[in-house]
Amino acid sequence: GQNIDQPTEMTATEGAIVQINCTYQTSGFNGLFWYQQHAGEAPTFLSYNVLDGLEEKGRFSSFLSRSKGYSYLLLKELQMKDSASYLCAVRTGGFKTIFGAGTRLFVKA
Amino acid sequence: EAQVTQNPRYLITVTGKKLTVTCSQNMNHEYMSWYRQDPGLGLRQIYYSMNVEVTDKGDVPEGYKVSRKEKRNFPLILESPSPNQTSLYFCASSSQTGAGGYTFGSGTRLTVV
């Protein structure tokens, strides 16, 4: 079957760095995505990786290793507004896009 | 403004009464999709469409229908809603490559009693 695993919850301190891991097993691979979702709102796109390596976008970076079926999202200089759910998603060989259940991040002062 | 527009935002209906949730995008995206989001289960794909007149089942298509007669519109139809279809629904669109990620609509909270 196809599945995406990510931790259910994480807590970090304002100003710190946090890494959210994602492992996946899918039939085919056409890209990995990270989204942010605040409570009661729609998800918003953060990053896209299709080749191995690190993609950096301001305070957010995302890493992909296709051979290991592994990705992480790195958030630097955490702010209170970063408290949200972070969703890992994979576009499969058939162009379905499947999502993990999400990681709820709590940022404390 | 580039956006995906879903309607209605909230809907309470009774079992068996046909309903349609509309979705429209103004970005000329080829790819459109419907998801439902339930606590603990994350976003699950219902149907997706690669282009006009091309649709395919996602992971949870039972009880739903879609159509893609025009590029901008992708309505979700529940012919005979049941209580287990109570959920938060999102429509999303992206370019064919998906490189820019999905743009999501604001969501439709559906309750079937």
pLDDT for A63 equals 98
pLDDT for B92 equals 97
Residue A106 distance to chain B (closest CA, Å): 17
Half-sphere exposure of B113 (CA within 13 A, CB side): 3
Closest of A51, A67, A15, A57 to residue A36, by C-alpha: A57
CA dist., res. A29 & res. B13, Å (int): 39
pLDDT tens-digit series, residues A56-105: 999 999 999 999 999 999 999 999 999 999 999 999 877 789 999 999 99
Query: Which of A45, A91, A101 shows the shortest C-beta gap to B42?
Result: A101
- Is the Cβ pair A95, B31 closer than 8 Å? yes
Q: Sort B17 into a burial class: Cβ within 10 Å, 0-12 / 13-18 / 19+.
A: exposed
pLDDT for A1 equals 75
pLDDT for B100 equals 86
Which chain B residues are Cβ-neighbours of A91 within 8 angstroms?
Answer: 98
Q: Average pLDDT of B85-113?
A: 94
Which chain B residues are Cβ-neighbours of A99 within 8 angstroms?
Answer: 35, 42-45
* Pairing mode, strands A103-108 and A9-13: parallel
Phi, psi of A82 (to 5 degrees): -80, -5
Tokens of B27: 């970005």
- Asked if A82 and B83 count as a contact pair (C-beta separation under 8 A), the reply is no
pLDDT for A50 equals 95
- Structure confidence at residue A27 as a pLDDT band (50, 70, 90): confident
Closest of B32, B29, B25 to residue A95, by C-alpha: B32
Question: Where on the phi/psi map is residue B107: left (φ > 0), alpha (ψ -120 to 50), or beta?
Answer: left
Tokens 């012919």 label which residue? B79
pLDDT for A17 equals 98
> Chain B within 8 Å of A75 (Cβ-Cβ)?
no
pLDDT for A66 equals 97
pLDDT tens-digit series, residues B46-97: 999 999 999 999 999 999 999 999 999 999 999 999 999 999 999 999 988 8
Q: Average pLDDT of B31-55?
A: 94
